[in-house]
Structures are given as structure tokens and as C-alpha cells.
Structure 1
Amino acid sequence: MTVLALLALALALLPAWLALANLLALRGKPGAPVPDGLVSILIPARNEAGNIGPTLAAALASTGVPIEVIVADDHSTDATAAIVSAMAARDPRLRLIAVPPLPPGWTGKNHACHVLAAAAAGRHLLFIDADVRLAPRGAAFLAGAAVAAGAALVSGVPRQVTASWGERLTVPMINLLLLGYLPIALMRRLRDPALGAACGQLVLVEADAYRRVGGHGAIRESLHDGVRLPRVFRTAGLATDLVAASDLATCRMYTDFRQAWAGFSKNAHEGLATPRALPVWTLLLGGGHVLPLPLVIAALLGAGSLPVAAAALALSLGTRAAITLATREDPWTIALHPLTVALALALQWNALLRPRRAGVATWKGRTYPAA
């Protein structure tokens, strides 16, 4: 038990150290506005009648940089197009375009983003999901950050709104993985594609560089643009960067556990759920965040070293607390951290081991052939 406790302590130290370094690296990065550069805010939308109105109102309230807002209606069967058309009639900065039929070999979101980019005139293209609410300074900050860093792609994780316990048990893994396991300082120094990372909810690209590398067409079959798109830029020798984005936008990804499980499962195979990666991640995440709690319980019952096990648990919870407070997520979820990580690993193993069907449900009800 003592050996296990020492292992858990060592595995908890890694994300604690990286999270501290990353939070310091992200803090106070200025980002100067680019007043003479148009930012095209691009929104793919498929059956988003419940979201699109507030999303457009927030985007159109952007300050500090000239904007255009383009919505791609991807064959919606609800009132999405009507809502956008009514708002566009009142604001000439807003346009609605229709997405052509989905070509073979493309996933829906990538195709819609490809169509949006072709219609955009901006120096920078800001892709946001239809459930993302930009802060007034969000677009200007991201464009300024890209210029200041010399980066062709800049992204960040919006403040994640979680109103149900199913969301609270799943969504916080985004920031834990990004801030606890990606060395951001090293990412900024090297162009290694493996260090590329983004959040697909909020991605700003330099338009010329985007078109030069093939844009979303280069990842047309992917379900995980947050992983794949920055790697395309880095493979071409271009810099990508991350910024703290909890003050720049908000997003509510899912509304319950069922949606969250399905949503995170759909792109698991392009993330952690690979035969090589998942055993390593199971050791890192399970050993550093799940194991400390049962070790503390065992030590209280007389088996093992309580000080070492308690130190591992304190480090794990402290790391999660620091990330949660810095990203302004729900603080009530901190105590649930071991269960959150255990559920994330269960989801990844389920995605890896479940029988692959002929097709898998993906973006807004579409099905694609299993990879």
C-alpha cells in the first residue's frame, strides 16, 4: 500500500506542477486589438433555434475590432434560418448562407466551417459553436493575441456552464487535461504537431494561413477539430497558441449526462481512446486522481501510509481546485473530482472496447461510417 501511495503521489505531482506553470503562463497575456483588421465570426448551425438568437446577439455586440458575422445553416429543420434571417434584416453585419449537401468523406461541422471560410472576408476567422456566447471584447482580444504572438491559430476554453450533475461530472475534464497535462511554455517554443491543442468551441485563425494549409478541408473526416486543426498548422511550420478564455466567452455544451456521454464518446478515438494512448492515460489519470481516495480510506482502516496517501489526495484536489477557480467553473464539482476522472476513463475505455457499428451518430443526428 505504501508503494502504491508513493506512486499516486508522484503521479499527482506532475499535473500539479504543470497546472501551476500553465496558469502562470496564461495569466495576463495582453493581446492588443487590431482596429484595421476585420474579424469574421463564423458560426456553423444545424437545428440551433434554441441557441442561435443569444449567440448572435453576443457576437454582434463585439467591440474593439470591425466584424462580420456569418451563419451557415446546415440543413436545419427547425426555425434556425428564420431567426437568423430576421436578425440579419436588422443588422447588415450579419449574413445567412446555406450549406450545400454534405460531400462524401466530410463530417458535418468541418464541411460547414469550410463553406463559412470561403464566404468570409476577414483578416482573421473566428469559428465559434452555436452555443458559445462571446464577451464584447472576445473577438478583439483573440485577434490581438494572434498578432502579438505571431500565431496563425489561437484558441482557448470558454467558461463552461454546467447546470446539471451530469454536466458537472464530465465537462470539467476539458480544462484538467489541457492545463494539467499540456506544457504550454514548451508548446509556445516548439512547433511539434504533438503539442498542438485547441478548443473547437472557440478557434481564431489567420485567414491566409488557414487557406494555405487547407483549413477544415485538411481534416474533413475528423470529429475532433480541437486536436486535428492545430496539428495541421504546426505540421506546416506555423505557430499556434492558447489563451485564458473564461472571460472571453461562455458555453453550455450539454444539458445532461446522456448528452455529455454521447458527445465526448463521439470523438474519443481521436483523443485518448487509442490502444497505445489509453493505457498510459489510465496510469496517469487513474493513478494521480482516482487512486489517492481509496488509498486514504485504506490507510484510515490501518493499511498503508496515511500521510503519503493524504498528500496525494490533497495534491489532486488542490490541482483541480486551482484549475476550477482560475477557469471560473462550478466550485461544487471540486469534491467530485475522483469520480469525474473515473467516469472519464470509463467513457474512454467504453469507446475503445465497444463493438464498432457500421455507422456512429455524430454532429446533430448525422451518421458517418466508422473509422
Structure 2
Amino acid sequence: MSAVTPLAALALALALLPLGLGIANLRLYRRPDAEPPPDTAVSILIPARNEEATIAASVEAALASRGVSVEVVVLDDQSSDRTAEIVRALAAHPGNASRLRLEPAPPLPPGWSGKQHACRTLAGLARHPLLLFQDADVRLAPDAARLACGALLAGPAGLVSGFPREETGSLAEALVIPLIHVLLLGYLPMGMMRRSTDPRFGAACGQLIAVRREAYRQAGGHAAIAASLHDGVTLPRAFRRAGLGTDLFDATGLARCRMYRGWREVWSGFSKNATEGMATPAALPVWTLLLFGGHVLPWLLLGWATLVPLPGVAVVLAAPAAAAGLLFRLLLAIRFRQSLLGALLHPAGILILLAIQWAALLRARRGLPAQWRGRAYPADPGGRPP
């Protein structure tokens, strides 16, 4: 038997894994529909550093929340642009003074990343028992805060998180950003996540996280992840280490975000926190096998077959493997309103994602810092004291 045949069989198995788990997860990953009590109050907390292009739309959307009582607190994290000026102008509008506050961030202490310090500061400024952390480029729908609170209060979880609709405006964004859903739904067993507090199943979207204040304190809050650049992984894991459940919901229709703009931001944004997720010496070889083997290898085998005669069984195995990966990607594109071109070029997106992860790992091994928002962070975030 040709060595190509077992390779094609492996590719088929690796392609069917995310397709099967993804279809199962799509039944569990839903828009929330539980209603919170009528007297529910939530603090919407927005850290902002040089966000003049997005902060007005973000704050106005948060203030338009309905069905819950909200206060919006914006922390100006030493911005050098018009961020603070824009928020002050919004706070001066009639009706906003009692619901919108602008606060200055204290100096960043050693051992802290900027976002985690800003969020910890915001939590201390919040007046309400429920906290909704959102990034400054997120625009909430009017029902988003209400339904996020309903999802949080409907079950025992101390933290719930939603993935907004990730808008893309360039080919680089369309290729890479939708892979967040591929990784989330294709490789995280959500049923086990909901039955367990095992930190290995911790996952969230740092763009939109709701917590109960008491649970936040019990988990240590953002002080527990002071040095982290990847709160979407590290914060839910901190809750789970404290014995608290975490959960996920589909926020596609509840919030929108264009997280990066263009190739440079895509590379920098996915690189900055890679070593806290996939890009570790132990994890990245496994992820490379799963992603390259299941999403790229089938297409390479089919391309090879057009140049060199391969055993028929190898082609028969590679063809459904390629189709499985493409089908999964198209299902996600339709469900989450993603770019169809990005879906059709799915193998190229996987290759770019893996290149980013390997480059981040090599950068960390060389001791080079990650760069983000005008700040440099050491290569080993876990090595920095809180």
C-alpha cells in the first residue's frame, strides 16, 4: 500500500473531527433568550486607549441599552488622541450625565498588561452587581446588555461571554478572523464545558464578558491574570480554578466589532497573545497537526493527484476530507454572516494562522517582547509578578 493512502486516511479523520463536533456545538451555541428580573442593573465597562475612531459609536450604543438599568463607565487609559474629549462631550448631553462617566486610568504598575489593569480599575469603579466588560470597538444592540444579563442570571455560571459579529473589510481579515469560530466550535466540546469547571475548557471572547461581581471577587478578578494579554482564555480559566462555571453564547445579532483593520493589525493582534493560547512548545505541534492535517493536507493531496498518479483510494479519501473542511467553513460563514470569499480560501487562512502562531513562538523563544497599543510586553507574561 502506498504511503499516501494512510496520509489521506489521517487527513479525512482530522477533517471530520471539527465538522462533527462543530455541528454538535452549533446546537448548543445559541443567542440567549432568558430575561433578567425587571430591576436588573448592570455596569457597562469600557477600557479605552487611543480609540477616537470608535469610542463615540461604542458609548452611544451602550447608552441605548434597554430592558435593564445601565451605567456606562469609560476608562481613558492615557490616550494621546481625542478619546477623552469625545467621551466628555457625550457625557455633557442632557440625560447622559447620570449614566455616563469618564475616569482617568492610574499609571500602569509593573507586572500588569494595560487592558487587565484598566478592567480591574473599572470593576472597582462600578456601582452595580453585574459587570459587562466590552472593548471600545464593540457596538451593542439595544437588547444586548439585557440578554447578556439574562444569560448570566439564568444559570450558575459566574462568567458568560458572547462572540460578536466580527466584521471584516480586507482579505487578510476575511481569511483569519473567522477562524476564531473554527477553533471555538470545531475543537471545544461545549457539552463538557457546561458540565465541568475544568480550566482546560475555559473560553471567552475578551470583547464581551459579563460577570457577577461576587464571582469576580472570588476568582480574583483581573488581578488573577494581571500580566495576561489574552483575557479570552485566562479570565474564564481563573473563574474555573476558583470552582466557578463559565459559559458562552452567540452574540452575532447582539454586538458588532471590527477587531483589526488590514494585514498589519491582523498579524500583530493575533501575535500578541499567541503564546498564551496555541503557540506553546507543547500545544503548537498538536494544533499544527490538527489544522494543517485536517484543513490543508486534503487539498495538497488533491493537487498532487493532478500532477502525479496517486492510488485511487487515496484520492477517494482526500476528496471528502477537503469537502468536509470546506463544508464546515461555509456553514460557519452562513451562520455568522462571514465573508464567503474568506470561506472559499479557507486553507490559505489556516496557513496564515499557523504562520502567525509559529512566528509568535519563535519570537518568545528569542526573548523578544510583544507589541500592542504602543506598549511592549515581555515574552513570558506568566513570569511577570502581579
TM-score normalised to the size of structure 1? 0.97
Point out where structure 1 has 5 or more consecutive residues left out of the alignment: none
Alpha-carbon contact 1:36-1:65 (below 8 Å) kept: yes
Q: Is the 8 A contact 1:60 1:69 kept in 2?
A: yes
Which contiguous aligned blocks of 4+ residues in structure 1 show a shift greater than 6 angstroms?
Answer: none
* 1:341-356 equivalences in 2 (<5 Å): 341-354=350-363
Aligned-residue offset at 1:357: 6.1
Report Cα offsets for 1:7-62 as digits up to 9, x if no partner. 10000111001110110112364222332121111000001001101111111111
Question: Which amino acid is 1:185 matched to?
Answer: G
Deviations 1:281-334 (A, max 9, x none): 011011000111111122334224322111000000111111222122122211
1:330 to 333, 339, 354: 339
Deviation at 1:124, TM superposition (A): 1.1
Q: Does 1:210 align with 2:216?
A: yes
Picking from 300, 303, 306, the partner of 2:310 is: 303
- Matched residue, 1:45: 48
Q: CA RMSD in A?
A: 1.3
Residue number in structure 1 paired with 2:384: none
Paired letter, 2:58: T
**Which residue of structure 1 lines up, in the alignment, with residue 57 of structure 2?**
54
Equivalence map 1:66-81=2 (5 Å): 66-81=69-84
Residues of 1 paired with 2:265 and 2:37: CA distance?
A: 38
Q: Deviations over 1:165-206 (max 9, x none)?
A: 111121111111011100011100111010010010111111
SS at match of 1:309: helix
Query: Structure 2 CA distance, aligned partners of 1:27 and 1:130?
Result: 24
Secondary structure in 2 aligned to 1:362?
A: strand
Give the letter for the 1:316 counterpart. Answer: G
Aligned to 2:89: 86
1:339 to 330, 342, 348: 348
8 Å contact from structure 2 (residues 271, 370) kept in 1? no
Greater Cα offset, 162-171 or 346-355: 346-355
The separation in 2 between residues aligned to 1:309 and 1:212, in whole angstroms, is 50
Question: Given that residues 78 and 104 in structure 2 are in contact (C-alpha distance below 8 angstroms), is that contact kept between their aligned partners in structure 1?
Answer: yes
Query: Whole-Å Cα distance in 1 between the matches of residues 208 and 123 of structure 2?
Result: 15
How far 1:156 moved relative to its partner? Answer: 1.6
Q: Separation in 2 of the partners of 1:292 and 1:149?
A: 42
For the residue of structure 2 that corresponds to 1:264, the secondary structure is helix
Q: Distance in 2 between matches of 1:231 and 1:156?
A: 16
| Cα distance in structure 2, aligned partners of 1:309 and 1:369 | 42
Alignment match, 2:371: 362
Instruction: Give the distance between the partners of 1:61 and 1:361, measured in 2 at CA.
Output: 36
Instruction: After TM superposition, give the deviation of residue 64 of structure 1 in Å.
Output: 1.2
How far apart are the structure 2 equivalents of 1:55 and 1:166?
24
Distance change (3 Å), C-alpha of 1:66 and 1:97: same
User: 1:357, 1:274 → 2: CA distance?
Assistant: 13
The partner residue of 2:106 within 97, 100, 116 is: 100
Match of 1:156 among 132, 157, 162: 162
Q: In the comparison of the two structures, how many residue pairs are matched?
A: 371
**1:211-237 Cα shifts (integer Å, max 9, x gaps):** 222100110011110000000101111
Q: CA deviation at 1:358?
A: 5.9
Contact 1:19 1:323 in 2 (8 A): no
Distance 2:185 2:25 in 1: 6
